Structure formats: C-alpha cells, structure tokens
Amino acid sequence: MKHYREELSFETSTRRAYLNITPQVEGAVRKSGIREGFVLVNAMHITASVYINDDEPGLLQDYDEFLERQAPQTGSYRHNLTGEDNGDAHIKRQLMGREVVVALTNGRLDFGPWEQIFYGEFDGRRKKRVLIKIIGE
C-alpha cells in the first residue's frame, strides 16, 4: 500500500468563506500516483471545516445564513470570556464537520452527481491548513 500527504494553506480576507478545493484535491491525487484507495481531506483548525456538497452560489449563501442563525457572530459565548472572539466559529465548524473521505477509483475522486469538496472558513483573516492524505495502490 502506498500513501501520499499534502497540505493546502488558506488565508481568507473575510471572517467567513466557502472555497471549492476540489481542483487542489484532484491535483494531489494526480501527484500521488495512487489509482485505487481513499482520500481524506480535513481542516487542521478548530474554526474551519471541510465538507462535500454542490457548488451553487445560492446554496453557499443559504449555508452562511443558516449557520449565522444557529451561531450568530454577535452571540454571547463563554468561550469569548477567554479573550477570544470566535465562539461562534467553533460551533459553526462542529455543525459543518471536520473532514471528508472520498473513494478513489481508477485515479479519480468517486463522486456522486454535483459533489464537490469545500473548505469552510468561520474565523478567517489568518493562515490555516488543510490536510490531504491519500492511501491505496
């Protein structure tokens, strides 16, 4: 069995952002030379997320509005008493998830219709990392 590891880094100019990272993950798959196996993609920060869904602007806006209703940035969070101001970002990450695993078949991500991999940023304006780990043959 072979394995390949790569890190992506992001620094968004806004506090919240939703970035389609499918092309970067596909590039890592090509570099790995692995044709059959699994691809793990995970956010390496507790205020960011990796998830799979459709790349449709209305849906991305719906996510943002939903998350803001569930965990408003201006909400009262005990976490913020530590001197931080990102209690909402931790909750948003928990709702959206930490990671995804995608099957790799014949050198390609084995997606269903419309599926894409996204990086969700909930406390941006600083550098953060995403891990890509590919395991297989």
Q: What is the CATH number of the domain that holds 51?
A: 2.60.120.460
- Averaged pLDDT, 98-126: 98
Is 3 within 8 Å of 28 (Cβ atoms)? no
Do the domain assignments include residue 132? yes
Do the domain assignments include residue 116? yes
Amino acid at the residue 83: G
Do the domain assignments include residue 78? no
Closest C-alpha among 51, 52, 28, 38 to residue 105: 38
Q: What is the pLDDT of residue 114?
A: 97
Do the domain assignments include residue 109? yes
Do the domain assignments include residue 99? yes
Do the domain assignments include residue 79? no
Domain that holds residue 102: 2-73+85-136
Q: How confident is the model at residue 125 (pLDDT cuts 50, 70, 90)?
A: very high
DSSP-assigned letters across all residues of 67-95: HHHHS-TTS--GGGGGT-S-HHHHHHHHH
**How many domains does the structure of the chain reveal?**
1
Whether the model pTM is above 0.85:
yes
Contacts of 35 (CB under 8 A, 6+ apart): 104, 106, 107, 136, 137
